[in-house]
Structure 1
Amino acid sequence: MDPNGGDVIPHRQVALHCAASVVLLWMAGPPTQWWPLALVAIVPWLKLILMTGRLDRRGKWIIVAVSTLYWMVSLQGLRHAHPAIYVGWFALSAYLAVYHLLFIWLARRLIERKIGLQIAAPLAWMTTELVRNYLLSGISVLMLGHAMADVPAMIQIADLVGTYGVGWVVMVVNVAVVCVFSFWKGKVDRKSAITAIGIAIVYVVATLGYASYRLAEPTGKELATFLLLQRNEEVDYLQSQERELEIFEAYAKQAVEAVKRSEQTIDAVVWPESMFSGGAAWMVAADDMVVPAEAEMPAAEFAASIKEQQAYIERRARYLGELMIEGGIENDIQEKPPAFIAGCGVISFGENPESYSGVLHVDSSGNVASWYGKMHLVMFGEYIPILPWIPGANSLMPPGMGLATGEQPGRMPVGDTLVSPNICIETAVERVTGAQVHWPGLPSPDVVVTVTNDGWFDDSSLIEHHLRCVQLVAVGVRRPILSSANNGPTAWVDDRGAIVDRLERGENGQVIAKPTQNTRTSFYARIGDWPMRLLGLLTIVLAFVPGQRFTSTKA
């Protein structure tokens, strides 16, 4: 007997149930993508939640250990980026594993408060996903709702309640399954099983009914035509300027040839993250610019060098534009050079130099009209939590980390189409893109264009997980999302989350996208995740309200 009055749940049972859930969860997503398994993947954990007794310290460590293995396998693509990332890969996996333990603990606490599993499990799961979307900058990858990314009828509710709502419905189905199983085993009565099934049917029918309404809506007018570039260029943290120029030239050659071969006018060419730099970052001088000590030149001379760098990048862009309209196909429909929405490093010189992962908007005249600085950085990729505050620890960071964060979203007009630029992980943290689309004081964009460099992840399934995030975000904000990526995912995703066209991982090629307009601002983009925050707060409060110890099964 446990000293607190309850039996300890056998450790073997804990391990088996956790292992079953994580295996089913993994199989529901890439690379196998057997999405129906998501509807039963949480059942073993739910059975564990309903077990009489309590989890001791060793049982909790077992849950964390098994879940850490799940996250390490799911996110194993991270390890390819840099040897130092191995530590971050493990640390991130262990950190995310804690949320599975938190889910089990929260659900059991809610049941102690006489809340049925039909409500307790979805509330607990949603709360853990909410917390991990904010804590330590947040990450949305591998939310439960992402398993439904390729099932259009299941994901349309994301424009109301985000991926959280899709996951809620999936969890309700899991609860119905475990209640039926428990009824067969004689552990719950018929009424409880029928109630769980009835609730699941209501949720699924409502979800499908709403999807039927949204999917039947007519599409809007056609927007600008974008050419999305992708190559499989090997990248490295310690990349030489010569290698950066080599990558730029490969992309430039492909872009020129693709525009020349196109049978329709290309309004904008989209370059993946950092692929337009070519060893030359776009530089800007702030009003409070202080010349870096290592520059060793007067302020006027340094300012002139910045202008020279800007002129070089614009000359390069104009040259490419001229090549694109010379010697094209016989009908010669490309009358003027396309604009570029181009991933490029940016350095802003103020009191201190600040480096950004950026996107340049180069208009059809070859002039840089504006730039956007990435607002949400990659944990363990572009920054390491806490490290900057440890004396001397910055020297341990590989080159490329320690980037500055942008202050607000960008708006880049391509003809009559208004683009919201987005970089890498910003589509993998759905609240970020949602906020950018509905930013106070800025007009609503017609399309989100995201650039990324997933070449760091080799050909791992992490690329497919990233694309699933894009699909759910597209529904959540009801805007088409165009993704241009080194190594993938390069895809045209419409405002219903459907992949209209894409390139396979590692393929050299391009996608020509002509998205359609959706002028409606989704409920989720308008109010964000405030309903989920309130429910999450309520869940946490209920969990800490004193109550009886968990000693009996309650479905």
Structure 2
Amino acid sequence: MSSGSTTDPQLPHLRPEVQRIIATGKMGAAAPVGSTVSAVLLTAISLTMLWLSFTPVECAPLAWIALVPLCQLLRLRTLPRFTLPGVWMISVIWAVVTLQWMRLGHPAMYLALLTLGIYVGFYIPIFLWVCRRCICGGLPLWLTVPVVWTALDLARAYLLTGFSWYYLGHTQYRWLSLIQISDITGAYGVTFLVAMVSGAIAEQIPAAWLRRWNLDVSDIDNLQSRRYPLAIALLAVALCCLYGFARKTAPDKFPQGPAFALIQGNFTPEIKHDSGMTLTRFRTHDTLTRSSVRLQPDFIVWPETMFSWPEQSAAEGVTDKDILSQIPADVVRDYGNQAAVLAEPFRRREVQSRLANDSQACGAAIVMGLEAMVAQKDRLRVYNSAAFARPDLGYSGRYDKIHRVIFGEYIPLKDIFPWLTDLTPFGANFGIDAGNTPMLFEYAGVRIAPLICFEDTVPHLVRRMAAQRDTNGLECDVLVNLTNDAWFRGSSELDQHLITSAFRAVETRMPMVRCVNGGVSAFIDGNGQIREPEQILVMKEPVEGLNPPLTEVQGMRDPATGFWRRQFSGIIFGHAPLDPRTSPYVQFGDWFAGLCLLAMAAFLTKSFIRGT
């Protein structure tokens, strides 16, 4: 027998192909280190392609094959030793690199970045383990991959307050015909399609290729039968595109809605504690607001927390004594017999009066991002809020942010583990309270729903906002996002935040207007298209004089960089494109991803019943 033969002379009674299988198994057993390295390397290739699919590179076609190397591990009869820990470690590296923009907020955020990276990194080995169990339960690989990936995305949207970033479907935001299915399935449907194509392609890879990597793959290699799943996956993509083509509204067919003047500043978070820069920040925004009046907007919007002073108020029945009890004792002592003046700001409602006067002077409704302090019987509550005033009725209400950012706005379990506050750039008293009530603000016959910070990335929360109706039974017309992306200093976070919010517009079939400090302010229509505003006016900084010159620039993308315009102070003006279409997603919610979760649970259970 030649030295290159794979048959075993000690097993002459077995057919040659059986001897080859046994020989392959022996080689795999003899090289466990090499096969583990191969498994981790395949994972690394997949995660590298995933990284390239998202911002800042945005190579969207790679997303369709990104999971193919990783899915080869689902075809193995047994995983090499230490594969799951190895996959987890490489996944943590991927998550940290992808989320590296978190570190830009403050040096202390490096620890928060690592914590979130460790958490997100767990989803990849969990995906592998669950997929292998579901395949044992009888679900074919090409369906297992999208079902499990989508189900885990749904879990990630809810667990630990939720993190709905970097969904596979988000990579396809430019393919408008495809993403229109989001008004039925949410962004989860687009993710499902992309993952299904990867799963179907993964089955086309010859088993011989994997054996060369010392991987314990089955010798059965009927490529002919595996072409049907690929055909089904491509047909599903085609059908969804046909739906999108029929469902999509031409950009010039949207009814013209109210005019918005978005007042964008460019102020880093450090100035919050600099009294001199606090005045500069206010002056810049106030000057831009006055300059926007000539454009005759219906709504003027300031970004998140850009008003320099908090809105203070006292709940009904709260006495001055109650208020003073919530102010630090040393401050009260310093005021002595005059301590009662400390309670006056909660009674005078100066900020509310200022907003009402400004709205009347501008002849437009104002949506103002600010901090709200509400004195209650038990304690002083602090909210991240959007206040609303209209020229005819004055101050008309406030929305308090519901979805707080973990480590950014609150620390879970900090009362039990005080050291957790070290994960943030703030002190021991750090944190804001969560609001609990969505709000609709109405002016000129148009109803808007405010969203603050990352709330526009949370599908189920935005759906809840969009489903609101006013006292007359009329629904929301425009979603308005107030956010402060200056924390991330021009990084890829700005682009990913914008892209993610575009899916909320498709899901709800409502336009979204985004007013962003240090980021990308934009108008997004119900197709998910990021539209060109009617005017972009950039102010030269620092502000000089009462009427500093404004320079008009063309296009949302800066021709010098190719990126969305960011990090400037100015006015972005345009009309919101109203959308008369209704959305099944708003009515039925995450039914599609929920079915994926149920299917995953069913096949997991089946695999354990089988004992496989």
Give the structure-2-normalised TM-score. 0.80
Match in the other structure for 2:101: 77
Counterparts of 1:187 and 1:230 in 2: how far apart (Å)?
Answer: 61
Match in the other structure for 1:194: 227
Query: Cα 1:513–1:184, aligned 2, differ >3 Å: closer, same or farther?
Result: farther
Match in the other structure for 1:329: none
Match in the other structure for 2:213: none
Moved more, 459-468 or 59-68: 59-68
**Which aligned pairs between 1:218-297 and structure 2 lie closer than 5 A?**
219-236=253-270, 239-260=273-294, 262=295, 265-276=296-307, 278=308, 280-289=309-318, 290-293=322-325, 295=327, 296=332
Deviation string, structure 1 residues 5-36 (Cα, Å, up to 9, x no partner): 99968221122111111111111111111101
**Which aligned pairs between 1:30-429 and structure 2 lie closer than 5 A?**
30-56=55-81, 58-182=82-206, 188-216=221-249, 219-236=253-270, 239-260=273-294, 262=295, 265-276=296-307, 278=308, 280-289=309-318, 290-293=322-325, 295=327, 296=332, 304-308=344-348, 310-315=349-354, 318-319=357-358, 322=361, 337-351=363-377, 352-364=379-391, 367-390=394-417, 398-399=426-427, 401-429=430-458
- The answer on whether the counterparts of 2:324 and 2:340 sit within 8 Å (CA) in structure 1 is no
**Which aligned pairs between 1:484-523 and structure 2 lie closer than 5 A?**
484-501=515-532, 502=556, 504-523=565-584
- The answer on whether the counterparts of 1:224 and 1:414 sit within 8 Å (CA) in structure 2 is no
Counterparts of 2:409 and 2:316 in 1: how far apart (Å)?
Answer: 27
SS in 2 for 1:291: helix
Deviation string, structure 1 residues 164-194 (Cα, Å, up to 9, x no partner): 1000011111122222333896863134322
Query: Cα 1:386–1:368, aligned 2, differ >3 Å: closer, same or farther?
Result: same
Work out whether 1:536 is the aligned partner of 2:597: yes
Counterparts of 1:464 and 1:393 in 2: how far apart (Å)?
Answer: 29
* Aligned residue type for 2:594: R
- The answer on whether the counterparts of 1:156 and 1:211 sit within 8 Å (CA) in structure 2 is yes
SS in 2 for 1:347: strand
SS in 2 for 1:377: coil
Query: Cα 1:246–1:487, aligned 2, differ >3 Å: closer, same or farther?
Result: same
* Aligned residue type for 1:422: L
Counterparts of 1:320 and 1:238 in 2: how far apart (Å)?
Answer: 25
Counterparts of 1:315 and 1:371 in 2: how far apart (Å)?
Answer: 14
SS in 2 for 1:514: strand
The aligned length equals 528
Q: CA RMSD in A?
A: 2.8
Match in the other structure for 1:467: 498
Q: Which runs of 5+ in 1 are unaligned?
A: 325-336, 551-555
Query: Cα 1:26–1:522, aligned 2, differ >3 Å: closer, same or farther?
Result: same
Pairwise CA distance, 1:59: 1.7
Pairwise CA distance, 1:480: 0.4
* Aligned residue type for 2:192: W
Counterparts of 2:394 and 2:402 in 1: how far apart (Å)?
Answer: 24
Q: Which runs of 5+ in 2 are unaligned?
A: 1-24, 210-218, 533-555, 557-563
Larger Rg: 2
Query: Cα 1:213–1:45, aligned 2, differ >3 Å: closer, same or farther?
Result: same
Query: Cα 1:377–1:258, aligned 2, differ >3 Å: closer, same or farther?
Result: same
Counterparts of 2:503 and 2:53 in 1: how far apart (Å)?
Answer: 16
Pairwise CA distance, 1:544: 4.0
* Aligned residue type for 2:50: L
Query: Cα 1:319–1:542, aligned 2, differ >3 Å: closer, same or farther?
Result: closer
Match in the other structure for 2:464: 435
- The answer on whether the counterparts of 2:407 and 2:423 sit within 8 Å (CA) in structure 1 is no
Counterparts of 1:89 and 1:271 in 2: how far apart (Å)?
Answer: 29
Match in the other structure for 1:453: 484
Counterparts of 2:420 and 2:86 in 1: how far apart (Å)?
Answer: 33
Pairwise CA distance, 1:509: 2.5
Query: Cα 1:74–1:311, aligned 2, differ >3 Å: closer, same or farther?
Result: same
Counterparts of 2:326 and 2:316 in 1: how far apart (Å)?
Answer: 20
Work out whether 1:444 is the aligned partner of 2:481: no
- The answer on whether the counterparts of 1:381 and 1:401 sit within 8 Å (CA) in structure 2 is no
Query: Cα 1:241–1:365, aligned 2, differ >3 Å: closer, same or farther?
Result: farther
Query: Cα 1:486–1:33, aligned 2, differ >3 Å: closer, same or farther?
Result: same
Pairwise CA distance, 1:362: 1.7
- The answer on whether the counterparts of 1:270 and 1:341 sit within 8 Å (CA) in structure 2 is yes
Query: Cα 1:6–1:449, aligned 2, differ >3 Å: closer, same or farther?
Result: farther
Q: Which has the higher contact order (CA 8 A, sep 6+)?
A: 1
Query: Cα 1:52–1:346, aligned 2, differ >3 Å: closer, same or farther?
Result: same
Pairwise CA distance, 1:84: 2.0
SS in 2 for 1:388: coil
Deviation string, structure 1 residues 99-145 (Cα, Å, up to 9, x no partner): 11111111111111121012111111011101100000001110111
Query: Cα 1:89–1:366, aligned 2, differ >3 Å: closer, same or farther?
Result: farther
Deviation string, structure 1 residues 19-61 (Cα, Å, up to 9, x no partner): 11111111111111110110111111111222231253x3212
SS in 2 for 1:434: helix
SS in 1 for 2:526: coil
Moved more, 219-228 or 288-297: 288-297
Q: Identity over the aligned pairs, expressed in percent?
A: 26
- The answer on whether the counterparts of 1:74 and 1:461 sit within 8 Å (CA) in structure 2 is no
Work out whether 1:479 is the aligned partner of 2:506: no
Pairwise CA distance, 1:219: 3.6
- The answer on whether the counterparts of 1:112 and 1:549 sit within 8 Å (CA) in structure 2 is no
Pairwise CA distance, 1:385: 2.2
Deviation string, structure 1 residues 56-110 (Cα, Å, up to 9, x no partner): 3x32121111111111111111111122211111100110011111111111111
Match in the other structure for 1:27: 52
Counterparts of 1:457 and 1:117 in 2: how far apart (Å)?
Answer: 39
- The answer on whether the counterparts of 2:440 and 2:470 sit within 8 Å (CA) in structure 1 is no
* Aligned residue type for 1:339: A
- The answer on whether the counterparts of 2:494 and 2:520 sit within 8 Å (CA) in structure 1 is yes
Match in the other structure for 1:333: none
Deviation string, structure 1 residues 407-453 (Cα, Å, up to 9, x no partner): 11111112111000001111112111111111477742000000000
Counterparts of 2:180 and 2:387 in 1: how far apart (Å)?
Answer: 32
